Amino acid sequence: MTYNALKAVSLTHVRYQRGDQLGHFLAWVSLVPVFISLGGFVSHFIFRRELQSMFFALGLVISQFINEFIKKSVQQARPETCALLEMCDSHGWPSSLSQYMFFFAVYFTLLTCKGIGGIWNVRTKWAALFLPWSLAVLTMYSRVYLGYHTVAQVLAGASLGILLGGLWFWVVNSMLFCYFPLIEESPFGRFFYVKDTSHISDVLKFEYDNARAARNTMAARKAMASKSS
């Protein structure tokens, strides 16, 4: 009986040499894009429904489609070290994970520096910017260290991610931003409670103040109801 070759789901399948502590750490680092996509954007949509984040995620998806198109067009092989990992059934140029992380870092930086969403104040802004760029560099390094990509492949991915991240930020906030109110008022926006808080300077304080005001109003109504009864 003839059996077809088996193929693993490589979404979280990262190999490193047994006993290599740095390799173990970098293997987890290379999974950061998965955590951002599933743990970050999915949970953000469930609990926040922010248009800026939705278009941020859409840009990352478009970026990955562009990456796959380029890979299939160029068809550059991964390094020879990748054969030992049994995960070399796809092309290597440009690195998709490097592209993803640098797209994320650029878009996140522009959002923060422009003050869109009002999440970070001046004191925490620069500390917040350090994390995505450090993770982007570590992810790029991990792909070379673990043997999945060459230096040229991760640099190409990083460069393309920076270019696409900046371009998509300009498209969203210069060309598509004017349609945000229409999306909010559309049947889709009303059904899913989609909103845009780009115009609010401090979202956390705004929500905190409104939550306290709603609680105080409810307490006052209960007090009045008890007195009247």
pLDDT, one tens digit per residue, over 94-119 is: 988 899 999 999 998 888 877 665 55
Residue 229, pLDDT > 70, answer: no
Digit-coded pLDDT (tens) for 168-187: 999 999 999 889 999 999 99
Q: Distance between CA 147 and CA 79 in Å, rounded?
A: 7
pLDDT confidence of residue 83:
67
Average pLDDT over residues 39-56: 83
The rounded distance, in Å, linking the Cα atoms of 229 and 223 is: 10
pLDDT at 49: 84
Each residue's pLDDT tens digit, 120-148: 555 566 777 788 899 999 999 998 888 88
Residue 117: the pLDDT is 58
> Sorting pLDDT into bands at 50, 70 and 90, what band is 35?
confident
Q: Over the stretch 2-32, which tens digit does the pLDDT of each residue have?
A: 556 555 555 566 777 788 788 888 888 888 8
Q: What 8-state DSSP symbol labels residue 81?
A: G
Distance CA 11, CA 87 (A): 11
Q: pLDDT tens digit string along 49-99?
A: 888 888 999 999 999 999 999 988 888 878 777 766 666 667 778 988 899
Q: Are 202 and 118 in contact (CB under 8 A)?
A: yes
Q: Which of 209, 213, 189 is nearest to 201 (CA)?
A: 209
Mean pLDDT of 156-168: 94
- Please say whether the beta carbons of 149 and 26 come within 8 A: no
Match 């070399």 to its residue by tokens.
88
The pTM (predicted TM-score) of the whole model is 0.83
- Residue 201 has phi, psi (to 5 degrees) of -70, -35
- Sequence letter at residue 93: W
Which sequence spans correspond to the domains of the chain? 21-224
Report DSSP letters for 193-206, one per residue.
T-B--TT-S-HHHH
What is the Cα 228 distance to its own chain's centre? 53
Token couple for 30: 């290379």
Judge contact between 119 and 102, C-beta under 8 A.
no
Q: How many CB atoms lie within 10 A of CB 72?
A: 10
